[in-house]
Amino acid sequence: MTKHYTIPFFVLHKGCPFKCIFCDQNSITGEENVTPDKVPKKIDKYLSTVSSQDAEVDVGFFGGTFTGLKKEEQIAFLDPVQKYIKSGQIKGVRLSTRPDFIDAETLRMLKDLGVRCIELGVQSISDKVLKDSRRGYTSGDVKNASSLIKEYGFILGHQMMLGLPSSDWEAEYLTARAAKDLGAEEVRIYPTLVIKNTELADRWHQTKYVPLDEAEAVERSAKLILYFSSEGIKVIRCGLHASVDLLSGEGMLAGPFHEAFRSKAESRIFYFLLEYIKGSMHSKNKEITLRYNPRDEADFFGFGRENIGIITAICGKAQTERDEKVPKGALSAEVGNKTMIVERSIILSKILKRR
Ligand code: SF4
């Protein structure tokens, strides 16, 4: 199976005239700002560690508003990548930018320079949430940018945030549905954290903003992962990258940060499946066997084995077995001669309605 890698470069606040209330890029990424002359060295170093036979490697420019840079600066970053694309060592470039910095002329230039995926920092489709987060664009900009990106044949990615001021589950679910309707093929989900030296930090100090607690952020993320996977949309990240600042707590004041946030969300999805089995198999005092795909073992038992309680509640005399035949992400439950395969699609509508 082909493995996919991205060599990440962080273009911090470059070209970004905004100051969104949650953003202090240095704290969030913990990465050094990159300059074009540093690009080839890092690509060479990275490629020397990857076997190109079964790998597809992209170069990524993240962190800022890439298309907000002057045209010459964008070219200066993309130029050094060209020889690697021509030689086939690099498949293409992915970059992140804001929805209001997309136009046809820029897209034509990016296409010619090997960009194949554009991630829009959408954050929310609710105009109220966008306004309250001082994002400086509207849902109309998100729609226009998304259609133009698709029209020019790029892979479209959407980044969305959970727990922004004025946001709630309904707004976040609508944001996810908008990603699907607008043709996003990939998404990143970021729970909002309160980072030092931001306006959100001031609001938090004044008790005007309360971040999501971890359980709620995990719950919403799990529901969104379920939704996106049912629509064939890849969730390429859930939870912020664990920078040194975040790990040490230096840069972060509050919010649902966890090093293994994605695992917690995946564990929660198995909890939803287990709840469904518990509610539908009337298994009290009966022998029941739960089978899971071996690749799901960690998520089935849950982060820190947090699903053990419900597993034991389902099968008093708990029997669990690994089974390659169980589809990845699903569970099989056997009572007597009755076996039920519980796929994620079975629980989707019920879970999405849950508050
Ligand atoms: S647009 Fe992006 S880089 Fe600029 S302040 Fe907002 S989050 Fe930060």
Query: To the nearest whole percent, how much of the chain has pLDDT over 70?
Result: 91
Q: Which residue has the higher pLDDT, 19 or 57?
A: 57
- Residue 194 and residue 329 share a domain: no
| Res 225: pLDDT | 97
Q: Ligand 1 within 6 A of 13 CB?
A: yes
- Residue 174 and residue 278 share a domain: no
- Residue 292 and residue 176 share a domain: no
| Res 107: pLDDT | 98
- Residue 221 and residue 118 share a domain: yes
C-alpha to C-alpha distance for 304 and 34, rounded to whole angstroms: 37
pLDDT in tens, 42-53: 999 999 988 767
SS3 assignment, position 252? strand
- In the chain, the number of structural domains is 2
CATH number (domain holding residue 104): 3.20.20.70
286 pLDDT band, cuts 50/70/90, is: low
Query: To the nearest whole percent, how much of the chain has pLDDT over 90?
Result: 75
Name the CA dihedral angle for 98, 101, 102, 107, rounded to a multiple of 10 degrees: -100
Phi, then psi, of 22 in degrees rounded to 5 = -100, 0
Give me 83's structure tokens: 């020889």
Cα–Cα separations (whole angstroms), residue 220 to 43, 191, 215, 347: 36, 9, 9, 15
Cα(124) to centroid(ligand 1), Å:
14
Q: Which residue has the higher pLDDT, 125 or 17?
A: 125
Q: Ligand 1 within 6 A of 121 CB?
A: yes
Instruction: Kindly report the protein residue whose alpha carbon is nearest to atom 2 of ligand 1.
Output: 64
For residue 89, pLDDT over 70 is answered with: yes
Q: Which of 190-194, 288-292, 312-316 has the lowest mean pLDDT?
A: 312-316
pLDDT in tens, 169-194: 999 999 999 999 999 999 999 999 99
For residue 285, pLDDT over 70 is answered with: no
| Res 307: pLDDT | 94
319 pLDDT band, cuts 50/70/90, is: confident
C-alpha to C-alpha distance for 48 and 45, rounded to whole angstroms: 5
- What's the mean per-residue pLDDT of the chain? 91
Q: Which of 50-59, 163-172, 215-224 has the lowest mean pLDDT?
A: 50-59
Instruction: Kindly report the protein residue whose alpha carbon is nearest to atom 3 of ligand 1.
Output: 64
For residue 26, pLDDT over 70 is answered with: no
| Res 31: pLDDT | 61
Q: Give the domain-ending residue among 259, 277, 312.
A: 259
pLDDT in tens, 274-283: 999 988 876 5
Ligand 1 pocket: which of 10, 21, 23 to mutate (most atoms <8 Å of CB)? Answer: 23
Q: How do strand 331-335 and strand 115-123 relate by DSSP bridges?
A: unpaired
350 pLDDT band, cuts 50/70/90, is: confident
C-alpha to C-alpha distance for 211 and 167, rounded to whole angstroms: 11
- Residue 126 and residue 75 share a domain: yes
| Res 281: pLDDT | 74
CATH number (domain holding residue 327): 3.30.1330
- Residue 312 and residue 180 share a domain: no
For residue 247, pLDDT over 80 is answered with: no
For residue 241, pLDDT over 90 is answered with: no
Q: Which atom of ligand 1 is nearest to the CA of 12?
A: 3
pTM to 2 decimal places: 0.93
- Residue 144 and residue 12 share a domain: yes
- Residue 38 and residue 55 share a domain: yes
- Residue 300 and residue 335 share a domain: yes
- Residue 303 and residue 255 share a domain: no
Q: Give the domain-ending residue among 259, 275, 299.
A: 259
- Residue 209 and residue 337 share a domain: no
Let me know: does 61 contact 77? Beta carbons within 8 Å. yes
- Residue 326 and residue 191 share a domain: no
| Res 19: pLDDT | 81
| Res 30: pLDDT | 53
Region 252-256 average pLDDT: 94
| Res 287: pLDDT | 76
Q: Ligand 1 within 6 A of 16 CB?
A: yes
C-alpha to C-alpha distance for 350 and 265, rounded to whole angstroms: 17
Domain, as residue range, for 142: 3-259
Q: Give the domain-ending residue among 259, 285, 301.
A: 259
Ligand 1 pocket: which of 10, 11, 12, 13 to mutate (most atoms <8 Å of CB)? Answer: 13
Cα(65) to centroid(ligand 1), Å:
7
